[in-house]
Amino acid sequence: MSKLMRAIRVGEFGPPSVLRLCSDVPVPQPGQRQVLIRVHACGVNPVETYIRSGMFARKPNLPYTPGTDAAGVVEAVGEGVTALKAGDRVFTTGSETGAYAEFTVAAEDCVHKLPDALDFTQGAAIGVPYFTAYRALIHKAYAKAGQTVLIHGASGGEATGGKGIDLIIEMLSNVNLSKDLQMLAYGGRVMIVGSRGPIEIDPRDTMFKESSITGVALYCATPEQKQECAAFLCAGMEAGWLRPVVGSKYPVDKASQAHHDIIKSPGAAGKIVLTM
């Protein structure tokens, strides 16, 4: 008989109330080049609310356990895994069985050792936000030292002395994109990281400045690009200058409240995490 665990399950797409804690979910087993992690904390990302609602382009098969980002301790490893062993403190950016659970399975190349200086809630806060930021800034925008960067597409061009902004990381493009294009410097770029719907823009705002709009999706990154990002972030954590900021913490049975709050409280400081 397989061991059972607690996990959030989604049996139908809909509002936060469809997130239900079940205590009879079989513990997944690691396969070839996979790692089984005992989850201590998992991150809650806005995209998970879109998937849960059924509004996301890619829909998982029902029922499913949400979440990709988790931190905990390696419970077991599958055949072929050499870089990790049972007992290692780790975080993952790519749970394959769902992170909102007591145990999760992830591919070896998506599991990274968690520095001792960080706790598990900080480890759970790394994943999608930090890897997406690196991909947007480095892989897609080719950001360089000395350039002016605006996060989220907030208003206010005065800070650049009238020169405009070189690079905007846009989290809510359906609200801000038109204004973003007007704030850009010549040759400026807008990186689309998030959007909740359509928006009308004037293409002439891109013509006169020869600016560009680029979409960013973490799942499009190659394994090599993900490893590059992981190496950079882990080096920063080891050196002490990168310390993930954790916001509200919820026990796993309050996952529906976490989903409600992440949408209703935009701009809140720190990553929302669930604890086991």
Which pLDDT value is given to residue 263?
A: 79
CA torsion through residues 112, 115, 116, 118, sign: negative
User: pLDDT tens digits, residue range 54-108?
Assistant: 988 789 999 999 999 999 999 999 999 999 999 999 999 889 999 999 999 999 9
Asked if residues 262 and 141 have their Cβ atoms less than 8 Å apart, the reply is no
The mean pLDDT of 184-199, rounded to a whole number, is 86
The mean pLDDT of 230-259, rounded to a whole number, is 92
Q: Is the pLDDT of residue 156 over 50?
A: no
Asked if residues 124 and 43 have their Cβ atoms less than 8 Å apart, the reply is yes
Which pLDDT value is given to residue 152?
A: 62
Which pLDDT value is given to residue 219?
A: 81
pLDDT confidence tier of residue 266, bands split at 50, 70 and 90: low
Tokens matching residue 101 = 């659970």
Distance between CA atoms of residues 213 and 195, nearest Å = 13
Which pLDDT value is given to residue 185?
A: 86
When comparing pLDDT for 78 and 185, which is higher?
A: 78
Strands 149-151 and 165-170: parallel
Which pLDDT value is given to residue 154?
A: 40
The mean pLDDT of 142-170, rounded to a whole number, is 70
Q: Is the pLDDT of residue 222 over 90?
A: no
Tokens matching residue 50 = 């879109």
Asked if residues 110 and 41 have their Cβ atoms less than 8 Å apart, the reply is no
Which pLDDT value is given to residue 75?
A: 97
The mean pLDDT of 1-8, rounded to a whole number, is 86
Which pLDDT value is given to residue 125?
A: 93
One of 3.40.50.1820, 3.90.180.10, 1.10.3720.10, 3.10.20.600 is the CATH number of 4-126+244-275, namely: 3.90.180.10
Please give the helix or strand (H or E) that residue 239 lies within, else none. Answer: helix 223-239
Q: Cis check for the bond before 26: say yes or no (omega within 30 of 0).
A: no
Asked if residues 121 and 246 have their Cβ atoms less than 8 Å apart, the reply is yes
Q: Which residues make beta-bridge pairs with 232?
A: none
Note the pTM of the prediction, 2 decimals: 0.82
The mean pLDDT of 116-131, rounded to a whole number, is 91
Which residues are CB-contacts of 259 (< 8 A; sequence separation ≥ 6)? 16, 19, 44, 48, 49, 52
Domain edges within the chain: 4-126+244-275, 132-217
Distance of CA 216 to CAs 7, 23, 75, 139, Å? Answer: 30, 37, 33, 9
Which pLDDT value is given to residue 155?
A: 38
Asked if residues 176 and 169 have their Cβ atoms less than 8 Å apart, the reply is no
Q: Where are the beta strands (DSSP E) in 148-211?
A: 149-151, 165-170, 184-192
Among the ranges given (129-143, 227-241, 255-269), the one the predictor scored with the smallest mean pLDDT: 255-269
pLDDT above 90 as % of the chain: 49
Count of CB atoms within 10 A of residue 269's CB? 8
pLDDT confidence tier of residue 157, bands split at 50, 70 and 90: very low
Strands 111-113 and 246-251: unpaired
Which pLDDT value is given to residue 153?
A: 44
Q: Which residues make beta-bridge pairs with 34?
A: 107
Q: Is the pLDDT of residue 260 over 50?
A: yes
The mean pLDDT of 111-137, rounded to a whole number, is 91
Q: For domain 132-217, is the CATH number 3.40.630.40?
A: no
Distance between CA atoms of residues 141 and 42, nearest Å = 29
The overall average pLDDT reported for the chain is 89
Asked if residues 233 and 133 have their Cβ atoms less than 8 Å apart, the reply is no
Q: Is the pLDDT of residue 1 over 70?
A: no
The C-alpha angle with vertex 265 and arms to 195 and 7, in degrees rounded to 5, equals 85
